Amino acid sequence: MDKRKLGKSGLEVSALGFGAMGMSFGFGPPGERGEMIKVLRHAVERGVTFFDTAEVYGPYANEELVGEALEPFKGKVVIATKFGFRPTPGETRWSTLDSRPAHIREVVEASLKRLRVDSIDLLYQHRVDPEVPIEDVAGAVKELIEAGKVKHFGLSEAGAKTIRRAHSVQPVTALQSEYSLWHRMPETDVMPTLEELGIGFVPFSPLGKGFLTGKVSADAQFGSSDFRSIVPRFAAENRKANQGFVELLGAVAARKGATPAQIALAWLLAQKPWIVPIPGTTKAARLDENLGGAEVKLSAGELAEINGAAAQLTVQGARYPAQLEALTGR
């Protein structure tokens, strides 16, 4: 697979990464551990070198899974994880924010053990904590980098001003935020800031939490452990109203001999050379399909067609419940 560098940092990874969250958290019951390990190792065999996890996924279970699966490939893959919440035992929803420097240090020590590594390749602040100045957060990570326990610093869902403030203390290697054909808010001020500062962009949910694949049926039911059960955009009436995005991708896919998912990923990769999407899955076949998106090349005319058609569509439904949306873009 082609490689990409995350901004000016020099951190080189596969053009498509792998988001492991759904294997343990957020999209229904956790996958069977042995099968999930097989999928993760299959990703490595297919050329994926960039894997994303977080302590809060599970909580803790996803880091342990990724650590076990990727231990044989130590030094050959890049693992990103996150701090910024204080998980509550037995609680699978998001927990209390906590980016105090002392807590960051505690999280890193625990994550190193769960991931079975000597240094964390990329450490993100999971969400901006309004109670802790971002300069203090960046300073704490800077100290961890100097101590050799972390290699690169990242932010997740941070706004442009916060990115600049953090970057002035410790260079930010990557920003991770939601970005796809049906969530383009980062284009307004975040992406220009990243380009100016030389920061890479790692879009999560590049397939719209599965919706853009065309595999989420109109009558789909989401269980209580599936995050989409509380997402307004996944209410039945909004899924029906948003079918135009799936139809657009499907029309282009039919002409290209591809799938809607592959076109959605190819569109993202075509936006900037420093963008590395991290689609996730629990199935090897779906992984193979997603990786095929890196092989699809969209012409300038096809990109213009997609952008023009998408501009005529209005997304129905918020991407998060209000309490979670309040944690983003600060």
Which position among 57, 60, 124, 179 bears the catalytic label?
Answer: 57
Q: What would the pLDDT profile of 223-275 be if each residue is shown by its tens digit? A: 999 999 999 999 999 999 999 999 999 999 999 999 999 999 999 999 999 99
pLDDT at 89: 64
Q: Residues 134, 165: contact at Cβ < 8 Å?
A: yes
Is pTM, for the whole model, over 0.95?
yes
Got the DSSP string for 319-330?
Answer: SS-HHHHTTS--
Q: State how far the Cα of 274 lies from the Cα of 254, in Å rounded to an integer.
A: 28
308: left (phi over 0), alpha (psi -120 to 50) or beta: alpha
Fold of 3-325: TIM Barrel (3.20.20)
pLDDT at 323: 86
Q: State how far the Cα of 249 lies from the Cα of 231, in Å rounded to an integer.
A: 22
pLDDT at 76: 98
Split the chain (330 residues) into runs of 10 and give each run's mean pLDDT. 97 98 95 98 98 95 98 98 86 77 98 98 98 98 98 98 98 98 97 98 98 91 93 95 97 98 98 98 98 98 97 96 88
Instruction: Give domain limits for the chain.
Output: 3-325
Would residue 57 show up in a list of annotated catalytic residues for this protein? yes
The alpha carbon dihedral of 180, 183, 187, 191 has a sign of: negative
